[in-house]
A and B are shown apart, each in its own frame.
Chain A
Amino acid sequence: MIYFDTAATSYHKPPQTASAVYNALLGTGSSGRGEHGASLDASRLLFSLRKEVSDFFNLQNPLNVVFTSNSTESLNIAIQGLLKPGDHCISSKLEHNSVLRPLYYMEKQGVEATFLDDDNFEEHIKKNTKAVVFQHASNVTGNVRDIKRIGEICKKHNLLFILDAAQSAGLIPIDMKENNISVLCASGHKGLLAPQGTGIICLAPGVFPEPLKYGGSGVESFSKDMPKALPERLEAGTLNAHGLAGLKASLEYIKETGQENILNQANNLAEIFYQGIKDIPGIKFYGDYNSNLRIPIISFNIRDIFAGDIADELFERFAIAVRAGAHCAPGVHEYFGTTKQGIVRFSFSHFNTEDEVLEGIRAVRILEEEYR
């Protein structure tokens, strides 16, 4: 199989990630749940990962690195845990459902939300505006937002800046301090090349969401509330130490390889693909291909061919895995007028090869000719 669906989940993992998970499965206790060696070793492993994550995003506080199961959980903690009835929050129509649906839910709880067509939000700030939530890189178009500009406006107006870094973490260096990011949400299994079921939420100093989950914390067991201090306050229940061992190995791999190298290699493959199909009659690309910074996603449709049919034939006949459909981003499809057709998305990894990309081009061209 040729896998071009890295934006959904990274299929190719560094071998050391798999080894780390395997070794953790053979001997890891429950972190924060006991004083014996197996449990302490798990706690030590996770603390060392908190430090690495804190360094990776320049948070400068490992105690404010909270582990979750994915970006969706992180975004739910941020959105549900920081917004109160009467607060106003600004976001965009182009967000993923992991932002939209929690915000729609909060609207029912009395939060006011504004969904813009883009990220030019300054003129929409009101007296009760508390936060903005934006995706760093689009899972449909591959375009990247200017987080420095967003962060500066947030700082000027004293707003919380919640960043959905699901698609960018591991590909684009993100400095929380420099960009005034209050909350960074990411999954382990995408650009961070780690196992599914691992996620992070990084909180800037003073940002203190209410917990999303309540349960065992390993401390203050007779208190009716979750413990006050981070990170345990937001981590009810046993953490996925086995998966997080993999995230630690992946982060080390990414640091050694360099995010810039990983992104450049994957973007070069995306560019070869784009050049190879751009002259197909009736092809339409979605997103801005002139921008300097993109993530390795090429989304397109050919004439009015149903995107799902192209994806299905690519897999059934050519064993090429791509994503079609709505990509959990309804607003993007309303914007492009593709709610019925869907969009075909190729997303590349630096682990893909040029030969695989050439095969992808060949397959798309064959299908296009057959549909004439």
Chain B
Amino acid sequence: MRVKKLVCVVSFNNTTEAIAFEEEAKKKGLQGRIIPLPRQISSGCGLAWKDDIENIDIIKELLKETQIPFKEVHQIVL
């Protein structure tokens, strides 16, 4: 059975923002990845960045530093 756990998910306004963030996250050495936008956030399609909850501060800092637009940083169980 899949074990669910609390994770950090960043939602974006569009695909381009998600891809722009992916590139910066990889440069930073983050191990997360692009996932389909979870239904808890929205059912309207799109991409999100999923990462370990421990990395939430690094992610928030990276969003600030790169000025990449995004919708929200969520903490959800996936």
Contact = CB atoms under 8 A, between A and B. Distances in A.
Does A associate with B in a complex? yes
Interface of A: 31-32, 34-35, 40, 43-44, 46-47, 50, 62-63, 217-223, 227-233
A223 B69 CA distance: 20
Contacts of B18: 43
Contacts of A233: 14
A35 B14 contact: no
Nearest to A65: B16
Given A31-B15, A50-B16, 18 more contacts: A35-B34, A40-B34, A43-B16, A43-B19, A46-B16, A62-B20, A218-B45, A219-B12, A219-B13, A219-B46, A220-B44, A222-B43, A229-B14, A229-B17, A229-B69, A231-B14, A232-B14, A232-B16
Nearest to B11: A219
A32 B13 contact: no
A34 B15 CA distance: 9
Given A47-B20, A220-B46, A229 B13 contact: yes
Contacts of B36: 34-35
Interface residues of B, number: 22
B16 A35 contact: no
B14 A32 contact: yes
A331 B22 CA distance: 49
23 contacts: A31-B15, A32-B14, A32-B15, A32-B16, A35-B34, A35-B36, A43-B15, A43-B16, A44-B23, A46-B16, A47-B19, A62-B20, A63-B17, A63-B20, A218-B15, A218-B46, A220-B42, A220-B44, A220-B45, A229-B13, A229-B14, A231-B14, A231-B16
A47 B34 contact: no
A32 B44 CA distance: 13
A63 B45 contact: no
B8 interface: no
Q: Which of B19, B43, B69 has the most CB of A within 10 A?
A: B19
B6 interface: no
B47 interface: yes
A183 B2 CA distance: 50
A63 B16 contact: yes
A222 to B, nearest CB: 5
Given A63-B69, A222-B44, A223-B44, A217 B14 contact: yes
B77 interface: no
B35 interface: yes
Interface in B1-60: 12-20, 22-23, 34-37, 42-47
Contacts of A229: 13-14, 17, 69
Contact of B14 (A34, A40, A62, A219): A219
A47 B13 contact: no
Contacts of A232: 14-16
A62 B23 CA distance: 13
B16 A227 contact: no
A38 to B, nearest CB: 13
A47 B16 CA distance: 6
Contacts of B23: 44, 47
Contacts of B69: 63, 229
A216 to B, nearest CB: 9
